[in-house]
Amino acid sequence: MKKFRTGMGQDSHRFLADEITKPCILGGVIIPNSPGFKANSDGDVIFHAICNAISSLTGVLILGVRADELLEKEGITNSRLYLEEAFKTLGKQKIVHVALSVEAARPKLLKWIPEIRKNIAAVLHIDVSQVGMTATTGEGLTDFGCGDGLQCFCILTTEEDA
């Protein structure tokens, strides 16, 4: 018999001014011609949302605790490493599916979604078919839809033997 669990995570960051050269990184992919995020790390809201979804399953806080330790002690700002730390906390839970919903007026993500999904699958040791992703502008109803930043929601499903 299998035991299924569902975790939910969210993250958001504002963009830096266009003249600041910090790259825009989403799902571990550098998105050219887009401003980076106001954050201590690289600000990868997709990886951060997945970390938070894992934390909601395990109770182990990665962002704000473990990531801050890595940042302060080792200067690590790469959110992929934070996600790898979160992945380790799953124990016997096996990821079945990751669903992502991104809200942003910019950058336009459609052409980047396949590469982002592939990168997430590699980090989480799952098949790309187990990663779903949508993107919306939100029709300008929020700061994200007005182009001030980017928001990501994640629902992550795991299974383990009961």
State the angle between helix axes of 113-124 and 45-58 in degrees (0 to 180), rounded to the nearest 10.
40
Note whether 22 and 37 are within 8 A (CB): yes
* Residues 11 and 149: beta-carbon distance below 8 Å: no
**DSSP single-letter state for residue 19:** T
What's the pLDDT score for residue 19? 85
Q: Tens place of pLDDT for every residue, the chain, 162 residues? A: 999 999 999 999 999 998 889 999 999 999 999 999 999 999 999 999 999 999 999 999 999 888 888 888 888 899 999 999 999 999 999 999 999 999 999 999 999 999 999 999 999 999 999 999 999 999 989 999 999 999 999 999 999 998
The whole domain housing 18 covers 2-161
Side chain identity at 156, as an amino acid letter? L
Residue 68: predicted pLDDT: 84
CATH number of the domain within which 63 lies: 3.30.1330.50
Summary mean pLDDT of the chain: 95
For 107-122, the pLDDT digits (tens) are: 999 999 999 999 999 9
Decide: helix, strand or coil at residue 106.
coil
Instruction: Quote the number of domains for the chain.
Output: 1
Q: What is the pLDDT of residue 112?
A: 97
**DSSP strand pairing (29-35 vs 23-26):** antiparallel
